[in-house]
Structure 1
Amino acid sequence: MASTAAQNAKAYVACVPHVPIISMQEREQNPGLWQAYDASVAEFEAFDPDVVIVFGGDHYSHIHLKLAPTFMVGHLAEAGDDCGGTPGKLNVPMDLSTGLAEALIDDGFDIATSYAMKVDHGFSNVLGFFLRGDIGARPVIPVHINSLSKPRPTLKRCRQLGEAVGRWARSTGKRVAFLGSGGLSHETAFIFPQYETAPNEEVRTFIVHGGGAGPISDQQWHGDIESEMIKLSADLVSGEFKVPWINKKWDESFLKTLEAGDLSAFDSWTDKDILEAAGYGGGEVRMWLAAVAAGQQAGAQPLRVDYYSEDTTIAVGVGVAHSQLVAA
């Protein structure tokens, strides 16, 4: 039975990484991370949301450069079987997802929508852990934020998106959990290049059109990524390789600012500065920012950072944060 605090809570927020390597290694490799992660999952379950809104992003799995929306709400969605992901159909409540999209339009967002949304580990990794491997177990609305390819939205606009989602969520009277998926500092450019930095025309064709348009099939693309992740994971566990791209100072600055609660402080953070300090993967903090902004508007308790480490075996600066369940 849920505690009184969980029953009184109006909304819940949790922000966690989605790096594929997290699914490949034994938990004993990073015990502090899993202690904090498991605590967030337990609080999520105690909160017992009516609906989950997950802010995530694609990695050239299903969204390609021929048409790359900045923000998108899924009305029907399915997770593919990519490296680090949990495949299956998402249980999207269409009455709520369409209501959210309409509210965002009214709030000034020219939001993209999809009735055939496919997501990768940027959504399904987090859902797999919070929903205990069954990503269709609870009603879920996926909200895509582009952090992979330019032009990326400003942090100010991501904050405003989250706030608009949170206002709508509060108006429904439902218990809503917001999940922010990704981050913190890490580099992805070597595996998910920009159009102008693609190593050859074959890769460029794939990231624009996807498999089938050129010599690289979807199966080959995902197979190559999985092979790279397996090798990287093994090298990190053995100590043969230590990633050079984690920026502890930047990560801690982001987390401190996020925890302080004045999210407008991020409005001056530029994409260029983020890329230089935190790598192309660091741009995924947009999902955290949107989730926390949504939680603030929906009535969640203040965010608390439970864990951070720059010294892990999963290739990212790892943070776990959630809103505490305290009595109203």
Structure 2
Amino acid sequence: MTAPRAFLGMSHSPLLGLNPISAEVEQSLNAAVAQARQQVLAFDPELIVLVGPDHYNGFFNELMPPFCIGSAATSVGDYLTPPGELNVATDAALALATRLMDDDFDIALSRRMQVDHGFSQALQFLWGGLDTPPVVPIFLNAVAQPGIARLRRCRQLGQAIGHFLDGLPQRTLLIGSGGLSHEPPVPTLAHPDPAIRERITIKREPTQAERAAKTQRVMDAGMALAAGDSSMKPLNPDWDKRYMDALEHGQLDALVQWTEDSIEQEAGLSAHESKTWLVARAALPQAPLRCTLHHYQAVPELIAGYGVLFMQTA
């Protein structure tokens, strides 16, 4: 018998608490997060495997792995998330990396990973900060083509993580932090400004002025999207629903047949973040599991198709 396992898919948005939203929308969001927190704490995980993306705060185009495990990790504290060290389960992280390599799944390893709100917001919402049970952080590139892992490979990674967890006695919570449909103003190497291309290529610590300007730019983008005055791709609740339903009902065989182009065309350039959910979900049995939380709402002010999905094996 393997130890119980739970899956939590949770969207994130750096604009939570920054851009104004209606009282009704805020109440619904807060209620969903509170339910997630209650159910996670009731599950009482002894180990967390947290799969998240980065937004050019820790990983840059000078060296961009599709996946990377952190044996130590520090939150940069962007937007309203807490800075500081994550409580990384170093031995488990190294053992997972070793097992993946032994199983012919080549994986990058960072001994000093830097993470941003793509990791820290989920921990903040669930535990109030970074004082959490031991966590294995796994980065997933969701911004820089052609090195964004395809759906099939994400599922394979999740399955390999599941095989590793089969040998551990701890109750494990697998969190996928990202997505769903959204296309925030994250630049790519196709950007015409060479200074911007350089900024997302070479890793360096931004100044406070640069960080403040970035925050304001993203805030403005969210309000423009909500006002219908934006060139950004709108949120796609139908795509989000199909994605969440496929994970809830264990329809992973069908999900991995979706084309990569369709993700960007239908859900936006940053919808690849939803692959964090797939990695985490694939570490649990494929068969439909007991789902106790399925929440979704589209919040353009936050540039987020915001979803929360929780299920467990026991």
Same fold (TM over 0.5): yes
- The residue number in structure 2 matching 1:208 is 201
Equivalent pair of 2:223/2:301 in contact (CA under 8 Å): no
Q: Which moved more, 1:117-126 or 1:136-145?
A: 136-145
Unaligned runs of 5+ in 1: 1-7
Q: Deviations over 1:181-219 (max 9, x none)?
A: 01111103xx222112x241111111110337xxxx454
Asked if 1:142 corresponds to 2:131, the answer is no
- The residue number in structure 2 matching 1:17 is 11
Q: Which moved more, 1:112-121 or 1:77-86?
A: 77-86
- The residue number in structure 1 matching 2:36 is 40
Equivalent pair of 1:53/1:178 in contact (CA under 8 Å): yes
Equivalent pair of 1:19/1:84 in contact (CA under 8 Å): no
- The residue number in structure 2 matching 1:294 is 283
Equivalent pair of 2:3/2:166 in contact (CA under 8 Å): no
Displacement after TM superposition at 1:221 (Å) = 3.7
Equivalent pair of 1:310/1:317 in contact (CA under 8 Å): yes
Asked if 1:262 corresponds to 2:256, the answer is no
The one of 286, 290, 295 aligned to 1:307: 295
Displacement after TM superposition at 1:34 (Å) = 2.0
Structure 1 or 2: larger helix share? 1
Equivalent pair of 1:261/1:303 in contact (CA under 8 Å): no
> Aligned letter for 1:53?
V
Specify whether residues 311 and 66 from structure 1 end up closer, same or farther in structure 2 by C-alpha distance, changes over 3 A only: closer
> Aligned letter for 1:315?
I
Equivalent pair of 2:52/2:139 in contact (CA under 8 Å): yes
Equivalent pair of 1:55/1:145 in contact (CA under 8 Å): yes
- The residue number in structure 2 matching 1:180 is 176
Asked if 1:227 corresponds to 2:216, the answer is yes
Displacement after TM superposition at 1:25 (Å) = 5.3
Displacement after TM superposition at 1:240 (Å) = 7.6
- Give the superposed CA RMSD: 2.5
Displacement after TM superposition at 1:159 (Å) = 0.7
Aligned pairs for 1:80-95 within 5 A: 80-95=76-91
Specify whether residues 246 and 26 from structure 1 end up closer, same or farther in structure 2 by C-alpha distance, changes over 3 A only: closer
For the residue of structure 1 that corresponds to 2:285, the secondary structure is helix
Q: 2: distance between equivalents of 1:86 and 1:259?
A: 31
> Aligned letter for 1:314?
L
Q: 2: distance between equivalents of 1:252 and 1:279?
A: 15
- The residue number in structure 1 matching 2:127 is 131
Q: 2: distance between equivalents of 1:264 and 1:131?
A: 33
- The residue number in structure 2 matching 1:284 is 273
Aligned pairs for 1:308-327 within 5 A: 308-311=296-299, 313-324=301-312
Q: 1: distance between equivalents of 2:270 and 2:309?
A: 18
